[in-house]
Amino acid sequence: MTPQTDEGPLVDDIAARIRARIMNGELAIGKPLRQAALAAEFGVSRTPVREALRQLQNGGLIEMQPHRGAVVRVPAPWEVRQAYEVRAELEGLAARRAAARITDRQLAALREHNAVLREAAERETGGSPATTAANDCFHTVVCEAADNPWLSRMIERINESFPRNVSSLALAGDERHRQENIRQHEAIIEALAAGDPDRADDAMRDHVISSGEHLTAWYERRSQTVFHG
């Protein structure tokens, strides 16, 4: 935990800014995080930067490596698979609840987000910030429709364990996976529009498990190329 000092809010702010850059891919997995460079960039001393990095290490986003210091962590494939197993159950529950609560406006938003993914797939431009946002927003709308803040927070906590851009990178490199992702979203939308909780639950769980397997495979390939020594 970050020590309770007068620098606490500053440490939290620096950690949030670094976390955001890791999550959007600006700081790629395997990239060293130099305290001196970060301190100069943020206009602070090394002390709050060091505490911010410790906070991110406790959260699992970075790790300390011999001779390299803080590095954006490459999750082990088994961690990704296990996390997505849990996420599948949680998001399945969210879809089940959403089936009885979703509004026409929210259904329209789901269709719009999936349309962005479909158009990107047709142009073969997956892996962009726009597709990352569209994919994230699709799932966010379902969580909002579920109307359970506890459930949303638990799903968000899992999502924050891995850089969000990686899912889009995995999609970008696999045309079949991109099309499958869009079809699975369509199945979820159809189940929600029909008000069918069982079908919505099954469609969402199948989608998240499938996405987790693709992401696990991506990390397996990536972990073989990132330098750890």
Q: How distant, in Å, are the alpha carbons of 21, 45, 47, 67, 188 from that of 18?
A: 5, 15, 15, 21, 34
Least Cα distance to 174 among 201, 226, 203, 211 occurs for 211
With beta carbons less than 8 A apart as the criterion, state whether 142 and 204 touch. yes
With beta carbons less than 8 A apart as the criterion, state whether 2 and 12 touch. yes
With beta carbons less than 8 A apart as the criterion, state whether 197 and 99 touch. yes
C-alpha torsion sign, points 12, 129, 61, 90: positive
Using only C-alpha atoms, what is the Rg of the chain?
Answer: 19
Q: How distant, in Å, are the alpha carbons of 136, 141, 151 from that of 116?
A: 12, 15, 26
With beta carbons less than 8 A apart as the criterion, state whether 46 and 35 touch. yes
* pLDDT at residue 1, rounded to an integer: 44
- CB neighbours of residue 45 within 10 Å: 12
- Token readout for 46 is 């090394």
* pLDDT at residue 88, rounded to an integer: 98
Digit-by-digit pLDDT tens for the chain (229 residues) are 444 445 789 999 999 999 988 887 788 888 899 999 999 999 999 999 999 999 999 888 899 988 888 999 888 889 999 999 999 999 999 999 999 999 999 999 999 999 999 998 888 766 678 888 899 999 999 999 999 999 999 999 898 888 877 777 777 767 888 899 999 999 999 999 999 999 999 999 999 999 999 989 888 877 665 544 4
For tokens 């719009």, what's the residue?
112
